[in-house]
Amino acid sequence: MRYLYTFFFYLSLPFILLRLLWRARKNPAYAARWSERFGYLPNSAPKQGIWLHAVSVGETIAAIPLVHALREQYPTLPIVVTTTTPTGADRVNASLKNLVTHYYLPYDLPGALNRFFNTLQPQLGIIMETELWPNLFQVCHTHKIPLFIANARLSARSAKGYQRIARLTRDMMHNVSQMAVQTATEAQRFIQLGLDPARITVTGSIKFDLTIPADLLEQASQLRAQWGKERLIWIAASTHEGEEEQILASYSLIRKKLPQTLLVLVPRHPDRFAKVIATCQRQGYATVLRSENKPCTTTSEIFIGDSMGELLLFYAASDVAFVGGSLITKGGHNPLEPAAVGIPIVMGPSLFNFAAISEQLQQAGALVTITSPTQLAEQVLLLFQDDTRRREAGEKGRQFVIQNRGALAKHLALINQLLTTRPIL
C-alpha cells in the first residue's frame, strides 16, 4: 500500500509545487529553498547529531524547552530542526537562533528522504506531536535511525481518519522506536492503530514545561506602560480567517461599556498581518502596529502584534486572553501560555487539539468557553468588571501549569535510552 501511496504522491507533486507558488504570492518564503524540500542539503550540514521535526509554529513552541534541554545534556551533538512551513522556520530562527540548524523537511518521497538522511546521518530522529508520514518512517527504519515521537497527541477524529488506512498506519507504527504521549486516552488510540504498548509512555504534555524568561515581567511592565497602565487590555491571540470579524464584533460590545479597553490582536500567521490590519482600519479603528514601535495614545483602539516570538510577552502584559483557532473548526491553540503568566482565558467551542488540557483548565476555574461573539463579550466584561474574579482565575491557571510540569524530564529519560543504543560522537 505504501508503494501505491508513493505513486499518487508523485502524481500530485506538480499540484503541490503550484500550491507553494500560490502561497508565495502572500509570503515569498514559500518560493525559496525548494532544493531542501527534495532532500538536497549543503555538504556542510551538521552530521551525526539529533534531527527534530516540528511541522509549524505550535510544534516549534512545544519543542523549544526540549531543544534547550538537549543542548544542555548533549553539548557535543549538533541539532538540526526541520519544519514544513516558513512560519515554523521563522519561529525556529527567532527562538533558537544559533542553537540549531534549520532546514525544510523533504517531501515524503523515498529519493528525497534518502538524500536528506545520507547527508545528515542522524543518531536520533524526534518528531513533535503527530506527523505520520509513511515513507519518512520507513526510510528512518532503513537507515537504522531510532524514531521518537515526542509530546504525541491524537484526537478521536484523527484516529478515525488513520483507521481508514489501517494497513499503512500499522506499518508506520511498527517503525516507531518510542513514543511519549500526552494522555492515557490518546495512548490507547495509538495502540489501537498498531503501536506496541511496550513502546509507549504516558508523560503528560511537554507544553507545561514552557520556559518563562527571567526578565519577562519587567519587559511586560515596560510594554504595558506603552499600552497605557490605566487601561484594561484584552488580547485575542493566534487568530485565523473568520475569527477577527467575530472578535471585532465582540470588541464593539465591550467598548460600549468600557470604552477605554485596548484590544491586542495577534494573527496566527504572518502572511495575514496586512489583511487583518486592513480589516481593523476599514472598520474605523485607530490601529497601532508592533512593527512601528510606537506607544499607544489614549485614542488608540487596537494594537496589532505583527511580530514573531513575542506572544508570551503580549500575554504577560494583558488582563484577559482569548485563544484563537477555537471560534472556527481549527481545534484551538495552546491555552497554557496565558495560563503560565497568570491571566484568565476565554476560548470558543472548537478545542479538539487541546481537549484534555482545556477541560482541566475549565475544571480548575481558569478557562471559560463561549459559542458566539455576544457570549465572548459578556465573559470578557465579566472578568474586567470583577478584579478579584479575574486575579483568582489567572492564579488558578498559573498553579495548574506549575502542578503539571515534569513531562520534559520524562522525555529526556526516554531519549537517553534511545541514544545509548548508538555511540554519541
Long-range contacts of 240-243 (CB under 8 A, 24+ apart): 240/267, 240/268, 240/269, 240/324, 240/325, 240/328, 240/330, 241/272, 241/328, 242/327, 242/328, 243/324, 243/325, 243/327, 243/328
C-alpha 303/C-alpha 289 separation (Å) is 6
CA distance 331 to 326: 6
Residue ranges with strand state E in 105-155: 124-128, 147-152
Burial readout 385-399 (b: 16 or more C-beta within 10 A, e: otherwise): eeeeebeebbebbbe
Helix (H) or strand (E) holding 83: strand 79-83
244 is catalytic: no
Helix (H, G, I), strand (E, B) or coil at 308: coil
CA angle at 58 for the pair 348 and 122, rounded to the nearest 5°: 155
Cβ(382)–Cβ(256) below 8 Å? no
Residues 6+ apart with CB under 8 A from 51: 79, 80, 82, 120, 122, 124, 125, 126, 145
CB-CB contact of 341 with 398 (8 Å): yes
Rounded distance, CA 414 to CA 178, Å?
8
Q: Alpha-carbon distance 203 to 32, whole Å?
A: 37
Residues facing 323 on adjacent strands:
237, 347
Q: Which of 36, 59, 243, 337 is catalytic?
A: 59
Angle at 180 between CA 177 and CA 181, to 5 degrees: 125
Of residues 122, 60, 163, 6, the one with CA closest to residue 423: 122
Taking the C-alpha atoms of residue 22 and residue 15, their distance in angstroms, rounded to an integer, is: 10
* DSSP code per residue over 129-142: S----HHHHHHHHH
Strand partners, 148: 126, 178
d(CA 318, CA 338): 9
Alpha helix positions (H), 308-386: 311-316, 336-340, 355-364, 373-384
Catalogue the active-site residues.
Answer: 59
